[in-house]
Structure 1
Amino acid sequence: MVDTNHISPSKGEEAEALAQQTTSLVDQGRWRICNDGKGLERQFKFKTFKATWDFMNAVAAECKKQRHHPEWSNVYNKTHIRWTTHDPEGLSSKDTFMARFCDDKGAEYGEREPDGSEESAGDGAGSLQAGDCCVGKKGDGSA
C-alpha cells in the first residue's frame, strides 16, 4: 500500500484517494513513484517499432482529449513514460488515469513482459538502451 507520505499530491487532490489509485499502479503493476513522489514512471516494450509507435499514437490521442501530456522517450521497441503534473506541481488523478490508460493500451498493442533487466532500465532521467534494434540477425554478417 502506497502511504500518503510517499506521494506529493498536486494542489486540490485528495491525498488518500490518490494514494489508493497509486497503490493499484505500483503494487499490482509495474509503475514506480519518482520525482520525490510527484510522478509515476515505467517502461513499455513491444515486439516491433511499429507496435511501439502505434501505442504511442494511441496515448498521444488520449493526451489531446485529456489535455495532459507525458514526459517520454522512445528507442526502437521501448518507450519510457513519466506522468507528473506541472501546474499545479505534483502527482494528480490525471497522472494515475493516464498511467492506467497506458497499461490498457500496452496490453492492446501486445506489450511484452520485461526480462528482468528492463524494469531498472530507467535511470530516473528516462534513458533507454537501443537493445536489439541495431544488432544484425545472427549469421547475416550485419552489425
Structure 2
Amino acid sequence: MVETKDIRPSEGEDPATLAQETIELVDNGRWQLCNSGKGLERQFKFKTFKATWDFMNTVAAECKTQKHHPEWTNVYNKTHIQWTTHNPEGLSSRDTRMARFCDEVGTEKGELPAESGDVKVTKGEMVAGDCCKKG
C-alpha cells in the first residue's frame, strides 16, 4: 500500500492530490512506484508485436501533445514504461495523467490480463516471447 511519505513529488505539485492519484494507480491498478518514489512503472503485454507497436504509437502521439515522454523498452509483445519528471525532478501530475492514459490505451488495444504468475518486471529484465523460439 502506497503512503504519502513514499512519494517524492516534483516541486510545485500538491502532495495530497498527487498521493491520491498515485494510490489509485498503484493500490487499485497495476503500476508500482520506482526511482525512490519519483516515478511510476508498469509492463504492458499484448497478443502480438503489432498490437504492442500500435499501443506505443498511440502513447507516443499523446506524448507529443503533452510534451512529456516516458522511458520505455519493448521486446516482442511487451512494453515496459516508466514515467518520471526530470525538471523539476520527482513524480508529477503529468506522470500520473500519462499513466492513466496508458491504461486506457492498453485496454483499447487489447492488453492481456495480468496472470497470477506474472512478475513485476523492471527495465532490463524483459525477455523475448515465442517469436524467437526455433521450430
TM-score when normalising by structure 1: 0.90
CA RMSD of aligned residues (A): 1.2
Gaps of 5+ in 2: none
What amino acid maps onto 1:112 in structure 2? L
Structure 1 outlier segments of 4+, above 4 Å = none
> Which residue does the alignment assign to 2:116?
116
Structure-2 residue corresponding to 1:139 = none
Letter in 1 for 2:95: D
Q: Is the 8 A contact 1:11 1:90 kept in 2?
A: yes
The structure 1 residue matched to 2:126, chosen from 125, 128, 140, is 128
Secondary structure of the structure 1 residue equivalent to 2:5: helix
- Any conservation in 1 of the 2:33–2:39 contact (CA below 8 Å)? yes
Kindly name which structure, 1 or 2, has the bigger radius of gyration based on alpha carbons: 1
Residue in 1 that maps onto 2:22: 22
Partner of 2:101: 101
Gaps of 5+ in 1: 137-141
1:64-75, aligned counterparts within 5 Å? Answer: 64-75=64-75
CA distance in 1 between partners of 2:99 and 2:118 (Å):
18
Kindly, what percent of the aligned residue pairs are identical? 66
Please say if residues 85 and 95 of structure 1, whose CA atoms lie closer than 8 Å, have aligned partners that are also in contact. Answer: yes
The number of residues matched between the two structures is 135
In 2, Cα distance between the equivalents of 1:93 and 1:112? Answer: 26
Partners of 1:49 and 1:114 in 2: how far apart? 17
- Give the drift of 1:126: 4.4
In structure 2, distance between residues paired with 1:65 and 1:44: 22
Letter in 2 for 1:130: A
Please report how far the alpha carbon of residue 7 of structure 1 lies from its aligned counterpart in structure 2 after TM superposition: 0.4
Structure 2 Cα separation of the partners of residues 78 and 41 of structure 1: 13
